[in-house]
Chains A and B, each alone.
Chain A
């Protein structure tokens, strides 16, 4: 048995649309998949062989993707299939998301300009001794009107990333630790999205 079996580590995701009048409409509610990257990062942490700063083991960013398929919801998934590929896709011109680029540890070290959206520290909430909730706020001006090859695209996958467990420098290499395929959402500036992602240890 591994630590996931003993502790029953799991997660849960809800996605709400937020309308201009402030009302929330639940559009998705399901468990997530804790992927193998979480185990890799924890073995690095407890094996004393990566970064010696706790901050590098914190989940401080996420990705939004447009190519999710249910068959990718397995523990061996190590990256999103179709993550947003630019700051422009995340924030548009007036969106409030904070986009940041970096490398990625996706099975192996992957150099390149890979885009993430940062999770503000105040959106990380300890909700019990063994649970932490990440609130991902995609405001109405962010992630809008996405396209791929000239066709409309839909937000349908999400991933949480640990910052830099292997202590890559000077550019960090986040690692995917939790993944979720959701039903298609065609994001526009008519509404925002709030993703409440709870991990239970």
Chain B
């Protein structure tokens, strides 16, 4: 769904004063990159931020601990199983609405064991914020670049002896500093032709790309492509999966009001960028739903990437393409 703010963004650039071009300090505002797609984000239902990997803080070890409700024979994690196990937990995300300004309007703050995380309405990346040096593994929703162990357990009591499957996941987004703490995956600063070349070559180390077809203008279609690598997919799944996707432009008014001036460079650790939702897509089934197959654990084979580049899942990724149609 393309949300109402997309119309506001279009009207913003249609009504910018041409006189800005004569003011050296302000002319950079007229660059189209201030109004085009600049971020992707992942989301889920608000209640999930206190379930799954968010639901338990293991004080005595540096590990993500997640309770599975499917018994010992299942070596994948299904966020939907939790909804079946806990009365009243509906799992479903909010339905999309044209007035939406973020992926989930309800409070998405994780509150656990005396600490709490940040509420961005989406899957945040607490690990890069030093304020969450020890608690990030419960706050989620991504692993450190250096990797973190995870245990999927049958019971949280004495969990070390109740492990169904375990491993190590590491974040590609954090390895390349592509995501800020709010969970915004940045776009590579490339024009259309450069983006197409990078997408063709599979180069996603600078972020999401615009991958234009040759006759894009007559088709009126702008495909956005990005990668979700194994460790990031694994982390998102352990924290409850992916039920929303968000496509964002910059909120130039908010940044100017905050005293920032263009170019608004992306910096994962200290991102001055503020974003406005352009479009969102909501799913009623986890985009990361995987099953075991032929005796192989789905999670282990696909997402367990270890400390790069050692484990089975290393090199696996999901390639997303989101096409915005203008005709």
A→B interface (CB under 8 Å):
1-3, 6-7, 9, 36, 39-40, 42-49, 51-55, 57-60, 121, 124-126, 129-132, 166, 199-201
Binds A, one of B29-37, B73-81, B110-118: B29-37
* Known A47-B222, A58-B16, A130-B4; further 15 A-B contacts with Cβ < 8 A: A3-B325, A6-B1, A7-B4, A7-B7, A40-B327, A43-B216, A45-B13, A46-B210, A49-B192, A49-B210, A54-B13, A58-B13, A121-B18, A126-B15, A201-B7
A42 and B10 within 8 A (CB) = yes
Q: Find chain B residues with CB under 8 A from A126 CB.
A: 11, 15
Most buried by A among B11, B34, B195, B326: B326
A43-B326, A45-B32, A48-B32 known; A54+B16 contact, CB < 8 A: yes
Give min CB distance, B176 to chain A, whole Å.
21
From residue B278, how far is it (CB to closest CB) to chain A in Å? 9
| 13 A-B pairs whose Cβ atoms sit less than 8 Å apart in the complex | A2-B220, A40-B220, A42-B326, A46-B222, A48-B195, A49-B192, A49-B217, A52-B33, A54-B31, A121-B18, A131-B11, A200-B7, A201-B10
> Chain A: interface secondary structure?
mixed
Task: Say if the beta carbon of B129 comes within 8 Å of chain A.
Answer: no
**B11–A132 touching, CB < 8 Å:** yes
Distance in angstroms between the alpha carbons of A155 and B32 in the assembled complex: 36
Which residue from B1, B14, B34, B217 sits with its C-beta under 8 Å from A124?
B14
- Asked if A6 contacts B191 (CB within 8 A), the reply is no
Contacting pair A124 B220 (CB below 8 A) = no
Contact: A36 with B4, CB < 8 Å?
no
CA distance A129 to B253 in the complex (A): 13
CB distance from B29 to the nearest CB of A (A): 8
A161 CB to nearest B CB, Å = 13
* Shortest Cβ distance from residue A116 to the other chain B in the assembled complex, whole angstroms: 16
A119 CA to B122 CA, complexed, in Å: 43
Contacts A48-B190, A54-B31, A54-B32: A36 and B327 contacting too (C-beta < 8 A)?
Answer: yes
B6 interfacial by beta-carbon distance below 8 Å? yes
B221 to chain A, nearest CB (A): 7
User: What separation, in Å, do the CA atoms of A9 and B58 have in the docked complex?
Assistant: 52
B324 adjacent to A58 (CB under 8 Å): no
Which 7 residue pairs spanning A and B have beta carbons closest together?
Answer: A49-B192, A201-B7, A6-B2, A2-B325, A39-B327, A39-B326, A43-B326
Residues of the A chain whose Cβ atoms lie less than 8 Å from the Cβ of B8: 129-130, 201
- Complex CA–CA separation, A9 to B326 (angstroms): 11
Complex interface: chain A residues within 8 A of B3 (CB): 6
Checking B14, B29, B217 against A57 with a beta-carbon cut-off of 8 angstroms, the contacting residue is B14
Contacts of A39 in B (CB 8 A): 220, 326-327
Whether B212 sits at the interface, judged by CB under 8 Å, is yes
A121 CA / B14 CA spacing, docked (Å): 10
